[in-house]
Each structure stands twice: as structure tokens, then as C-alpha cells.
Amino acid sequence: MKPFAYERATTPETAATLVADSTEAVYLAGGTNLVDLMKLGVTEPAVVVDITRLPYDAIEHRPDGGVLIGALVSGSRLAGDPGVRERFPALAEALLSGASGQLRTVATTGGNLLQRTRCVYFQDVTKPCNKRQPGTGCSAVQGLHRDLAVLGTSDACVASHPSDMAVAMAALDAVVHLRRVNGSPRALPLNDFYLLPGDTPDRETVLQPGDLITGVELPPPPEGAAMSYRKVRDRWSYAFALVSVAAVVATAADGTLRDIRLGLGGVGTRPWRAREAERLLTGRRPTEEGLREAARAEFASARPLPGNAFKIDLAVDVITSAVRDLVGGERR
């Protein structure tokens, strides 16, 4: 591991200044992803700025049923929060399906949003990777890509986003709260926070040097909504998603879908909001044929590779079963 300087920030202003003043400085919270990447040589910061003493560790439930989650709230604490479990069960389920209990105890909400892909070529510094070193090429296109993305990809990158939590938050219309390097606040929808790879896969979010995530806000879910998080993976414990679906569904008195929100994981270069499927299903009865047709339409722009084309059929099955079970099952 490359030697680095360590600084502990006690105020947001100090943290932002330390990171903005160096092109090789990074924030450290739980470190569950950052430290691994440093050990692998993927990331070699000159300065590591510890932000764990900043005042962003609260869960604030709002009177309207929404919640503001501090960026330093751990995954285990968020998953176990009674208000989250009651009003946002899909989020709790997503958190509990990701990583191990030990990691969830340390990993933070803000860090979860920023975790890097687990593409083997990104993690192997001996192999070309445009995300790690722009302009060197994408080894995965002709190599191992079974676990990688089919939506939002480009010729420069097919890496998938690994987060479970962010998929649930995408379906829940999450808003990311930032502190800009100049001290000004900014809030933007989670779906606008991430960038598609295009020709610059090394840029994954809209964050600028020194910008700091302070929290994530979830608005109240639709009245009467049922929700769940469903994850398909190679093994039951501690594995990243091949396909995952966060579904939020509210039905009208006549049985039609009054409101439906779908987040997809394992298939996109970012947590994927299935807008086309939602559009086709809203106002319709959730028949098996209709669900499959809408789910299939979401993948009209997919660019599967030989090793991961199976994900499209798998995703159609998981979307269909997730929504069908929510509509026919007990309301949460």
C-alpha cells in the first residue's frame, strides 16, 4: 500500500478544504470499500481525511412520513430502525441482503452510494480498465462479464453498480443532500446523482472535489403502498446481485396500478430506475402478460454481451414475480 497522510476532520469546512486542496485526497468513513481498493492499488490517495466525527449520523423521521438519513448512519443501524422497517421495508430488506453483518455495522449510508464496481478488471491493476485508467480499454468486453451490466453501458465500460441499498433508494425516489466545497447546500434526485459511463467511465457521480454527501432524504411512500426487495445471486449469503428488484406498488380500488416504482440492480451501470416499465404498467391491471411485456420493454435499449445476456430473461422473471406477489399478497 502506498504511504499516505491521515487527517481527522472535526468540521465540514475543514474536511472539504483538506480534500479540495489536493487532487489525491479522499474522504474516509467506514472504509469498507476504500481500504480494500487501497490494498489492491486501485486507489492510491496521498491524503485520507477521516470524517466520522462530523454531525451526519442521525435518522430523522418527518411528520409527513418521510425520513432524512445522515450520511454517516451505518447500514446495520438503518436496517434495524423501527421507522424504516415499518414505512420503508424494501430499504431494510436491501440492506440486510448486502454484505455481512460485520460490514453493515461499519459501512455508512454515504459510502454505500459511492462504492465502486466489483468488476474483476477494475480491481486488477495489471489489466486495462477505462474506469480505473481512462483510455486503456475495457477488458471485460472480451473477457469475463457474466456479472456485469446490460443497461447504460458503452463501448468504454460495461461495469455494473454493486449497491443493494441504492437500488431500493432509487425506487423510493431518494434525494441526495450534498455540501458543496464552497459550503452551499445542494439536493438532487438519486437518479441524477449518478452518471452513465459514456466515454468517461472514470466519472461516476456529479460530485466535484471537496463535495460531501451529508444525507439522503426519502419522501413518504405512496398511500397504501406495498414494497419489497428481491435479489437473485449465486449464493444466499454475501454475494452481489445478478439481478435485483426493488418494487413499490399501490393499487386503485378497481385493481389497476395507481402507482408503481421499480429499481433494478445487477443489470445497470448505476442503480437503474425502470421508467419505461413503470410507464407501461401505471393505470393497468397487473396481469402476467402485461407485467412481462412491460419488463421486457425496459430492456429494449440493453446491450448484452454473450456471457450476460441471460440477465434480461432473469430480470423479466424477477420483476414479474416481485410485482405479482405484492399485488396479491399482504400489504405492508
What's residue 90's pLDDT? 98
CA torsion 107→108→113→118, rounded to 10°? Answer: -10
**Whole-number Å distance between alpha carbons of 275 and 114:** 23
22 pLDDT above the threshold of 90: no
What percent of the chain clears pLDDT 90, i.e. is strictly above it?
Answer: 93
- Mean pLDDT, rounded, for 194-201: 98
300 pLDDT above the threshold of 90: yes
The ranges of the chain annotated as CATH 3.30.43 are 5-53
- Mean pLDDT, rounded, for 28-50: 96
pTM (2 d.p.): 0.96
58 pLDDT above the threshold of 70: yes
Q: What's 51's DSSP letter? A: -
What's residue 295's pLDDT? 98
In sequence order, what are the residues at sequence separation of 6 or more whose Cβ sits closer than 8 angstroms to the Cβ of residue 116? 33, 37, 42, 122, 131, 162, 204
- Mean pLDDT, rounded, for 187-208: 97
What's residue 5's pLDDT? 95
- Mean pLDDT, rounded, for 77-101: 96
Instruction: Count Cβ atoms below 10 Å from residue 156 Cβ, excluding itself.
Output: 18
With cut-offs at 50, 70 and 90, classify the pLDDT of residue 331: very low
With cut-offs at 50, 70 and 90, classify the pLDDT of residue 320: very high
With cut-offs at 50, 70 and 90, classify the pLDDT of residue 21: confident
**CA dist list (Å): 121 to 127, 149, 150, 202:** 6, 14, 17, 14
- Mean pLDDT, rounded, for 91-117: 95
The ranges of the chain annotated as CATH 3.30.390.50 are 226-328
In this structure, which CATH number among 1.25.40, 3.30.160, 1.10.155, 3.30.43 belongs to the domain 5-53?
3.30.43
What's residue 2's pLDDT? 85
With cut-offs at 50, 70 and 90, classify the pLDDT of residue 332: very low
**Which CATH number does 226-328 carry?**
3.30.390.50
What's residue 85's pLDDT? 98
Q: Identify the CA nearest to 203 among candidates 307, 263, 131.
A: 131
Asked whether the beta carbons of 34 and 43 are under 8 A apart, the reply is yes
